[in-house]
Amino acid sequence: MTARESLLVLLVDDYPDNRDIYVQFLTYSGMQVEEAENGHQALDKAFALHPDVIVMDLSLPGLDGWEATRRLKDDPRTRDIPVIALTGHALAGHSKGALDAGCDAFITKPCLPERLLDEIRAILETARTRSGDTTT
Amino acid sequence: MAPARTTAARTGAKPRPSAGAASRLDLLEALLLARDPEQCSQRALTWLQRQCGVRRALCLAADAARVRLVPVASLGLPSQRLDRFSVDLDVRDHPLTQALLSSSPVLLSMNGHASAVTPLGQGPVQAIPLAPLSPRHLPAGLILVSPPIQAAAGDARWLARVLGPRLAALMETRRAEESEQRLHRERGLLFGIINAVTDPILLTDADGRIIIANSRAETLLAADEDQSEGRRQAVTLNNMLFSAALSRHAIEGVGAPRHEMPLVDPVDGSDLLFELMSTPASPDSRQAGGIVSILRNVTDLQRATAEIEENYRKLRHTEADARAERDRLDLVIDSVADPILVTDPGGNIVMMNAPAERLFVARPEVDSEEAHRQVQANDAHFSSFVSNLFFEGDSRRRTGGINLVDPTTFASLPMEAISGKIVSEHGEVTAVVTILHDRTEEFERARLYEELKKASAELENKVRDATSELVRQNELLRRSHIALEQASALKSQFLANMSHEFRTPLNAILGYTSMLLKGVSGELSGQQRRNLERIDSNSHHLLSIINDILDISRIEAGKMPLTLVDFVIPDVIGEVLAEVEPLIARSKLAVTHELGDALPLVRSDRQKVKQIVINLLTNALKFTPQGWVKVTASYDKRLDRVAIAVTDSGIGISPKDQEIIFEDFRQADDSPTRQYTGAGLGLAICRRLTQMLGGELTVRSALGEGSTFTLTVPGAPRDE
């Protein structure tokens, strides 16, 4: 794994404005952000770039977020990458479906950029702790 | 010898002055030797023929027993003339009777009449009376001769003197002999009769010894030496019993009642019972003439008597039973309310009970003429009904209707008549019993029943119509319910989708605003910041409305999950106050809280309790222009309920609005010009959530005096 100066976030969302907000804010917060607008792109970029964290909107055209997450979690190359699910659907069942698919966290829209940042930081901390534990 | 004598008589037929003494002596000897009156008189007539030249002669003897003159001997007469010839001596004017009583011979009439009186035929007849046996007696008889004796009249008179006594003596002897024979015959007959009598008859002497006994009596009371020992003993016993009975009878006298006397049958040893009737043989009981006893066998009689008595007793008993039965029957029949009549085969009423009398018997002193006519009409109807039954040969029973009229009220009585024949064991109809049953009530009931049935049918139709209508409406309702459910589901789905669609752009608005306010795009001027804050505030308000709508949709769709945990209320209140802090700060109201002692653990959905309290508190802040807001928590141990109350000194709610505020999209002031913003969903959601938690949300308020909203939830179940 090539070392990077800063964290790389793969942001998957089909709504450009939302992508733009989070890109701006995460970049502003000192992170590198790669974008994908559907599930296939997300898989391609994940395998190619191996980001530190993936923010996955679940409602996507074509291959949706649940399926994309399932495939990432089934592949040994991407299994360790934390996935934060993001959805506008607040109905019961969505969060459970997301966790079943292998998501590590679940955020309901509307989600202010700083909240997303907080969530990314928290999950990376958890991941670091866990990997630290395993390396120790 | 007789022809010789006849020859001699004929030779001596020549009249002679007098019969020789030798001839008379011969006749006397012959007369004395004669055995019977016929022989004696025949010899006398023969002598007369020889001595006196008589050609025809007849000797008649007086029969003292019969008081008649009867022929005993004749001469020169055909015997048939003598048949049945006799003369009644009681007929005193008869020529022969007179001739008999005259002392000397009589010449009977010279004319032709003599033949009518005597059987001697034509010619003069001389009647010579014969001398009696003694002067006390009647003349012994009469000799009729023809021709009359003249020359030898002395001989004739001598003969009359000699023959008379001798003939009378012979006649007397014959009579005695005949009498003896008759007695003997009669005695034999008597014995035959006595023996023929089946009852024992005995004649005993004064000492009780048996003089005469008939065969039946001998069987019982006499035994030969050669008979068996048992039989002899039985006879001995019987004799003792008989003697005892006889002596008792003798003591008690003639007028004594009949005695019963038990004896033993010596032949078969069976017990016999006799009735002893004893009477002295001669009327004068003092004479030792003996006693006649008749024993009447009453063994069978006694048995029969006993049987008769038994039968009589049974008969009496049966009669009593029958009478009791009849009395009971009468009572029963009279107590029956329906008229009952008994008719004989002639159609006449022979018996009826009181109810029948009311219909069929006229009371002359009471009833009017019209009533009488009705009674007669009733009788006619009834008679025709019953006579029909008599004509219907086979059927023993007949049921039919007769229309009668009550003679007192003149009310029409539709009667059902049931007649039954009473048939003797010979198959003859002896009577007909008829029961009449008033069917007026029955008809009335039937009519009412018909009406009821009609009404019931109508009702049934109505019910059927109503039911089918109900079914139709139910079906409509069911369909509309399904449609509603579908619509509701669609609405929920629509709202869920809409809220998602709303959130995406809202997310962008909120995101950009937030970034701008954070200075991501550089520093902002004061005015820019204020404007951005307005955008931010309105965006958040829009978000809260969308969230409320989503909540309502989720609750209605049954998709609001409950997450039950144990927690304490003060923690929740602390968090609420912290979250609402920006609003509190902006409101400039005095917000306090008061937590009661011993608040217990609560098991509920913590997030929802918090949501409700936030809602109540924000409402209080919103509707309180100035003053204070207080949040209190308390515990009712008795009801095990925790209460969280939010009290304010705000505008208050009028009583009529206190329910409206819990409805969807409603505020107390619904007017377009209302002062307070908000979708009006907050309390509606709170109440629904409260219900989900098994709690209660109440309001206590008065216009202008503030409000208190209280949420109560059940305490946590005691830990096991």
Nearest CB partner across the interface for B508, out of A17, A28, A114: A17
> Residue A45 pLDDT more than 90?
yes
Q: Which residue type, as a one-letter code, is found at position B110?
A: M
Same domain, B163 and B52: yes
Any domain includes A1: no
Same domain, B512 and B571: no
Any domain includes B187: no
Q: In what order do the strands lie in the sheet with B210-213?
A: B210-213, B201-204, B291-297, B271-280, B259-264
Q: In terms of CA atoms, which chain B residue is nearest residue A112?
A: B511
Whether the CA torsion B66, B68, B73, B74 is positive or negative: it is negative
Give the pLDDT score at B720: 47
Tokens 């020889």 belong to residue = B50
How many domains is chain B built from? 5
Read off the pLDDT band of B181 (50, 70, 90): very high
Give the pLDDT score at B257: 61
Binding-face residues of A in 17-46 toward B, CB within 8 A: 17-18, 21-22, 24-25, 28
Please compute, for residue A26, the number of CA atoms within 13 A of its CA located in the half-sphere on the CB side. Answer: 27
Q: Are the Cβ atoms of A89 and B550 closer than 8 angstroms?
A: no
Read off the pLDDT band of B8 (50, 70, 90): very low
CA distance B322 to B318: 6
Any domain includes B230: yes
**Residue B410: which region, alpha, beta or left (left: phi > 0; alpha: psi -120 to 50)?**
left
Give the pLDDT score at A12: 94
pLDDT digits (tens, 9 = 90+) for B131-147: 888 888 888 888 888 88
CA distance A50 to B543: 35
Closest-CA residue to B653 (of B619, B618, B691, B617): B619
Give the pLDDT score at B111: 56
* Average pLDDT for B63-80: 84
Chain B residues whose CB is inside 8 A of the A21 CB are: 508, 511-512, 515
Looking at the complex, does the CB of residue B554 fall below 8 Å from at least one CB of chain A? yes
DSSP string, B231-299: HHHHHHHHHHHHHHHHHHHHHH-TTPPPEEEEEE-TTT--EEEEEEEEEESSS-TTS---EEEEEEE-H
Tokens 């004893």 belong to residue = B278
CB B591 within 8 A of CB B624: no
Q: SS3 for A93?
A: coil
Q: Are the Cβ atoms of A18 and B512 closer than 8 angstroms?
A: no
Give the pLDDT score at B665: 66
> Residue A40 pLDDT more than 90?
yes
Nearest CB partner across the interface for A110, out of B496, B503, B515: B503
Give the pLDDT score at A96: 67
Any domain includes B327: no
Nearest CB partner across the interface for B499, out of A15, A90, A112: A90
Q: Are the Cβ atoms of A18 and B507 closer than 8 angstroms?
A: yes
Any domain includes A21: yes
Any domain includes B317: no
The CATH number given to whatever domain includes residue B542 is 1.10.287.130
Whether the CA torsion B377, B378, B382, B383 is positive or negative: it is negative
Same domain, B268 and B345: no
Any domain includes A109: yes
Q: What are the tokens at B288?
A: 């030792």
pLDDT digits (tens, 9 = 90+) for B405-462: 888 888 888 888 888 888 888 878 888 888 888 888 888 888 899 999 999 999 999 9
Nearest CB partner across the interface for B543, out of A15, A21, A110: A110
Read off the pLDDT band of B14 (50, 70, 90): very low
Q: In terms of CA atoms, which chain B residue is nearest residue A57?
A: B504
CB B156 within 8 A of CB B128: yes
Q: What are the tokens at B689?
A: 């959530």
Q: In terms of CA atoms, which chain A residue is nearest residue B543?
A: A110
Using a 10 angstrom Cβ sphere, with 0-12 exposed, 13-18 middle and 19 or more buried, the burial of residue B671 is: exposed
Same domain, B456 and B536: yes
Give the pLDDT score at B663: 76
Q: Are the Cβ atoms of B508 and A88 closer than 8 angstroms?
A: no
Q: CB within 8 A of B85, min separation 6: which ones?
A: B71, B119
> Residue B182 pLDDT more than 80?
yes
* Average pLDDT for B484-499: 76
Same domain, B591 and B706: yes
Binding-face residues of A in 103-132 toward B, CB within 8 A: 109-114
Which residues on neighbouring strands pair with residue A35, listed in sequence order? A11
Give the pLDDT score at A110: 80
Of residues B450 and B22, more confidently modeled: B450
CA distance B126 to B123: 10
> Residue B556 pLDDT more than 90?
no
End position of a domain, from candidates B524, B559, B594: B559
Same domain, B42 and B171: yes
Give the pLDDT score at B457: 92
Give the pLDDT score at B601: 87
Weakest-pLDDT range from B229-233, B312-316, B377-381, B496-500: B496-500
Q: Which helix (H) or strand (E) holds A87?
A: strand A83-87
* pLDDT-above-90 percentage for chain B: 14
Q: Which helix (H) or strand (E) holds B643?
A: strand B641-648
Tokens 């990376």 belong to residue = A124
Read off the pLDDT band of A43 (50, 70, 90): very high
Gap from B670 CA to chain A (nearest CA, Å):
30
Same domain, B348 and B244: no
Any domain includes B160: yes
Give the pLDDT score at B5: 43
CA distance A99 to B489: 26
Looking at the complex, does the CB of residue B560 fall below 8 Å from at least one CB of chain A? yes
pLDDT digits (tens, 9 = 90+) for B579-614: 889 889 988 899 999 988 888 888 899 888 999 999
Runs of H (alpha helix) within B294-419: 299-335, 354-360, 369-391
Q: What are the tokens at B237?
A: 């016993």
Any domain includes B313: no
Task: Write out B140-192 in H/E/C secondary structure.
Answer: CEEEEEECCCCCCHHHHHHHHHHHHHHHHHHHHHHHHHHHHHHHHHHHHHHHH
The CATH number given to whatever domain includes residue A48 is 3.40.50.2300
Same domain, B383 and B356: yes
The CATH number given to whatever domain includes residue B589 is 3.30.565.10
End position of a domain, from candidates B559, B580, B604: B559
Task: Supply angle C-alpha B623, B626, B632, rounded to 5.
Answer: 70
Any domain includes B306: no
> Residue B184 pLDDT more than 90?
yes
Q: CB within 8 A of B699, min separation 6: which ones?
A: B653, B658, B661, B707, B708, B709, B710
The domain in which residue A68 lies consists of 8-135
Give the pLDDT score at B16: 47
Q: Which helix (H) or strand (E) holds A126?
A: helix A113-135
Using a 10 angstrom Cβ sphere, with 0-12 exposed, 13-18 middle and 19 or more buried, the burial of residue B641 is: middle
Any domain includes A24: yes
Read off the pLDDT band of B3 (50, 70, 90): very low
* Average pLDDT for B569-580: 90
Closest-CA residue to A35 (of A19, A48, A49): A19
Which residues on neighbouring strands pair with residue B516, listed in sequence order? none
How many contacts does A have with B, using Cβ atoms within 8 A?
65
The domain in which residue B693 lies consists of 561-714
Chain B residues whose CB is inside 8 A of the A113 CB are: 511, 514-515
Q: Are the Cβ atoms of B560 and A92 closer than 8 angstroms?
A: yes
Any domain includes A3: no
Same domain, B151 and B8: yes
CB B201 within 8 A of CB B242: no
Q: Are the Cβ atoms of B507 and A88 closer than 8 angstroms?
A: yes
Give the pLDDT score at B264: 85
Give the pLDDT score at B638: 86
Put simply, whether the predicted model's pTM sits higher than 0.90 gets the answer no
Any domain includes A114: yes
Of residues B363 and B580, more confidently modeled: B580
Nearest CB partner across the interface for A90, out of B504, B506, B550: B550
Q: Are the Cβ atoms of B507 and A110 closer than 8 angstroms?
A: yes
The CATH number given to whatever domain includes residue B254 is 3.30.450.20
Q: What are the tokens at B353?
A: 């009970």
Same domain, B528 and B583: no
Closest-CA residue to B613 (of B546, B567, B550): B567
Gap from B538 CA to chain A (nearest CA, Å):
14
Beta strands at B429-438 and B291-297: parallel, antiparallel or unpaired: unpaired
> What's the whole-number average pLDDT of chain B?
82
Phi, psi of B276 (to 5 degrees): -100, 125
Give the pLDDT score at B718: 64
Q: Are the Cβ atoms of A24 and B520 closer than 8 angstroms?
A: yes
DSSP string, B416-484: EEEEEEEE-TTS-EEEEEEEEEE-HHHHHHHHHHHHHHHHHHHHHHHHHHHHHHHHHHHHHHHHHHHHH
How many domains is chain A built from? 1
Read off the pLDDT band of B616 (50, 70, 90): very high
pLDDT digits (tens, 9 = 90+) for A46-57: 999 999 999 998
Same domain, B608 and B620: yes
Same domain, B555 and B574: no
